[in-house]
């Protein structure tokens, strides 16, 4: 592999299969505990890529279980000294390293005030791994590249697995089991993705759009090209982009749309037409031929069978490979981006 980042992307399917085996008993026990509890709210605490995995969790928990999910403002605890009441809630702390100090403080606060606590990390010996009632281990192996790839995939996979079990969706659990092998089909198209990246070698700004369950994947796709290529990119849900942000679209502006053949499909068509009329350079990533045909360029992911939460995994690996390949053609090192380090501790 040309870079460590790309090598770690190629390890993602096997890491996902491994993390499922490692956590099977915990996943089932967690689901049993949550089904027996009267959970009224869920709160997710995370930063960066882990935050995007948490937002993915927000969408699928609210969609499948009808329980409101909030994103924690950890500074209210760590900087303002507030003692929050998390009684009858599930509080989830997510951190690849498990060293996120502010997330740790919030999880401790939650446990002290009556919450069920869950942490997801790639480090069994980390403070977060030991702080909660339940811990899900990414088991992704050492991740050396600054840009998180296989740890993001395993975080999302563990979240999807525990939510499917909590909701009692046995059909969805089976679909999720097939994801790693299907995802590997995209890795075989790395050369095609590299050609797409070559077309955008001079790109300095872009917009990345999606909606619903796949909106967090637009956020993550944006972060990947920001941190590895220094491209001024911005993610929006298409529902927000119809408003003020659309004024930034000019002739030839690259716009990446992550849209699968699911509940958001029809809603995306008005935005596609609007972007075409404005002269945007539209790159469509989808499993739907009708949507793909609307783009100036398209990449077809495997069918997600109208399940947006499944499509998210395929979008993730495309976004990671695109960023890694774009860095290569731009002559940048995605393994060590300027001004960044692998572990960032926020208090």
Decide the pairing of beta strands 89-94 and 41-45.
Answer: parallel
- For 278-288, what is each residue's pLDDT tens digit? 999 999 999 99
Residue 304: count of CB within 10 angstroms of its CB: 24
Decide the pairing of beta strands 134-137 and 89-94.
Answer: unpaired
Question: Which of the residue ranges 87-91, 214-218, 325-329, 342-346 would you say has the lowest mean pLDDT?
Answer: 342-346
Per-residue confidence (pLDDT) for residue 146, from 0 to 100: 87
Q: Nearest-CA neighbor of 226 among 206, 251, 255, 246?
A: 206
Residues 6+ apart with CB under 8 A from 199: 297
- For 64-96, what is each residue's pLDDT tens digit? 999 999 998 888 887 888 888 999 999 999 999
Q: Mean pLDDT, to the nearest integer, of 3-15?
A: 97
**pLDDT for 343 beyond 90:** no
d(CA 290, CA 288): 6
Per-residue confidence (pLDDT) for residue 213, from 0 to 100: 97
Per-residue confidence (pLDDT) for residue 81, from 0 to 100: 81
Per-residue confidence (pLDDT) for residue 78, from 0 to 100: 74
Assign domain 183-330 to a CATH class.
Answer: alpha beta
Contact 260, 301 (CB under 8 A): yes
Residue 174 designated active-site = no
d(CA 170, CA 174): 6
Q: Which of 21, 29, 265, 341 is catalytic?
A: 341
Domain extents for the chain?
4-177, 183-330
Contact 188, 214 (CB under 8 A): no
For residue 220, give the 3-state DSSP assignment. Answer: helix
Equal fold, 4-177 vs 183-330: yes
Q: How many percent of the chain have pLDDT more than 90?
A: 83
Q: Nearest-CA neighbor of 108 among 88, 125, 93?
A: 93
Res. 121 pLDDT band, cuts 50 70 90 = very high
Place of tokens 């740790």: 104
What pTM value is reported for the model? 0.94
φ/ψ region of 318 (left if φ > 0, alpha if ψ in -120 to 50, else beta) reads: alpha
For residue 309, give the 3-state DSSP assignment. Answer: helix
Residues 6+ apart with CB under 8 A from 240: none
Residues 6+ apart with CB under 8 A from 184: 13
What would the CATH number be for the domain defined by 4-177? 3.40.50.10490
- For 163-176, what is each residue's pLDDT tens digit? 999 999 999 999 99
- For 301-316, what is each residue's pLDDT tens digit? 999 999 999 999 999 9
d(CA 241, CA 41): 29
């Amino acid at each position: 592999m040309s870079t460590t980042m790309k090598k770690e992307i190629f390890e993602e399917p096997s890491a996902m299969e491994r993390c499922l085996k490692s956590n099977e008993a915990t996943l089932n026990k967690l689901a049993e505990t949550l089904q027996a509890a009267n959970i009224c709210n869920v709160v997710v605490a995370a930063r960066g890529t882990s935050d995007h995995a948490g937002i993915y969790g927000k969408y699928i928990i609210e969609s499948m279980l009808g329980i409101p999910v909030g994103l924690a403002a950890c500074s209210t605890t760590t900087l303002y000294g507030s003692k929050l009441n998390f009684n009858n809630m599930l509080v989830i702390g997510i951190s690849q390293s498990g060293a996120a100090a502010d997330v740790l403080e919030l999880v401790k606060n939650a446990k002290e005030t009556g919450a069920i606590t869950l942490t997801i990390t790639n480090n069994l010996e980390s403070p977060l791994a030991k702080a909660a009632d339940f811990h899900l281990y990414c088991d992704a192996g050492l991740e050396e590249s600054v840009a998180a790839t296989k740890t993001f995939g395993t975080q999302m996979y563990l979240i999807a697995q525990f939510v499917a079990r909590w909701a009692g969706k046995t059909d969805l659990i089976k679909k999720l089991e097939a994801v790693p092998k299907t995802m590997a089909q995209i890795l075989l198209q790395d050369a095609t993705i590299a050609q797409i990246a070559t077309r955008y070698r001079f790109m300095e700004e872009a917009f990345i759009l999606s909606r619903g369950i796949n909106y967090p994947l637009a956020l993550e796709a944006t972060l990947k090209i920001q941190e590895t290529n220094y491209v001024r990119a911005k993610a929006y849900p298409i529902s927000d982009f119809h408003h003020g942000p659309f004024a930034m679209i000019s002739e030839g502006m690259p716009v990446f749309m992550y849209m699968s053949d699911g509940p958001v499909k029809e809603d995306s068509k008005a935005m596609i037409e609007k972007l075409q009329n404005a002269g945007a350079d539209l790159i469509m990533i989808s499993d739907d031929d009708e949507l793909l045909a609307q783009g100036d360029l398209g990449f077809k992911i495997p069918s997600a069978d109208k399940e947006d939460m499944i499509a998210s995994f395929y979008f993730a690996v495309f976004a990671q490979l695109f960023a890694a390949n774009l860095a290569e053609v731009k002559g940048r090192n995605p393994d060590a981006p300027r001004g960044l380090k692998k572990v960032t501790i926020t208090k």
